């Protein structure tokens, strides 16, 4: 959900959870009407009233100048009662865990094997969203080899980047559109 209209439509459509970003800290930052950190309380209140889980996507590669904004967004998410944060950057994951937020590992981290999934679990991740490159048999093998308490999620459809799980540099090189900011030209 990128705005309150989409949030309402998702809830009215029967969604049991919603995924959303704030500001420019997510893979859909090029959207003109993204939520802002100050919207988190209202989002969570609306969703709680409908029994809908809330997942904050803070799934970009963070740069030093973005760390303060990321911490503020995570603090606001914690205060608002967000169900979990979906992240791929180690700094975001570490900070979220330090303030007691549930963490789900984004597909952007590129988890392609059981050892990486286990490492994420040991770091405190409740769920991992596996890399998009995996086939069904590889997913089954990971499921067999990780702690049964670790939730596994995978994409059933969507863009397949030239590089691993959205870490494509080709788009930025060819068009100036950074895929790691949600603006992939999908060359």
User: 132-169 pLDDT, tens per residue?
Assistant: 878 899 999 999 999 999 999 998 776 655 555 555 66
User: What's the pTM?
Assistant: 0.82
C-alpha–C-alpha distance, residues 56 and 92, integer Å: 12
What integer pLDDT is reported at residue 158 of this predicted model? 64
Instruction: Please give the Cα distance from 61 to 27 (Å, whole number).
Output: 9
CA distance 75 to 99: 8
Sign of the CA dihedral running 65, 165, 181, 117 = negative
pLDDT averaged over the chain? Answer: 89
Q: State the pLDDT at residue 143.
A: 98
């Amino acid at each position: 959900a990128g705005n309150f209209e989409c949030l309402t439509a998702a809830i009215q459509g029967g969604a049991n959870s919603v995924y959303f970003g704030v500001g420019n800290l997510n893979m859909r930052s090029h959207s003109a009407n993204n939520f802002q950190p100050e919207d988190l309380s209202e989002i969570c209140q609306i969703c709680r009233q409908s029994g809908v889980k809330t997942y904050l996507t803070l799934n970009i590669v963070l740069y030093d100048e973005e760390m303060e904004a990321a911490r503020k967004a995570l603090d606001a998410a914690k205060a608002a009662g967000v169900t979990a944060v979906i992240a791929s950057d180690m700094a975001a994951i570490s900070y979220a865990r330090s303030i007691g937020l549930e963490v789900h590992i984004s597909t952007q981290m590129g988890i392609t094997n059981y050892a990486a999934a286990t490492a994420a679990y040991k770091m405190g991740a409740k769920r991992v969203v596996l890399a998009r490159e995996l086939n069904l048999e590889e997913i089954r093998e990971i499921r067999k080899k990780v702690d049964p308490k670790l939730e596994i999620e995978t994409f059933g459809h969507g863009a397949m980047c030239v590089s691993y799980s959205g870490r494509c540099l080709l788009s930025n090189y060819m068009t100036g559109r950074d895929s790691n900011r949600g603006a992939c030209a999908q060359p």
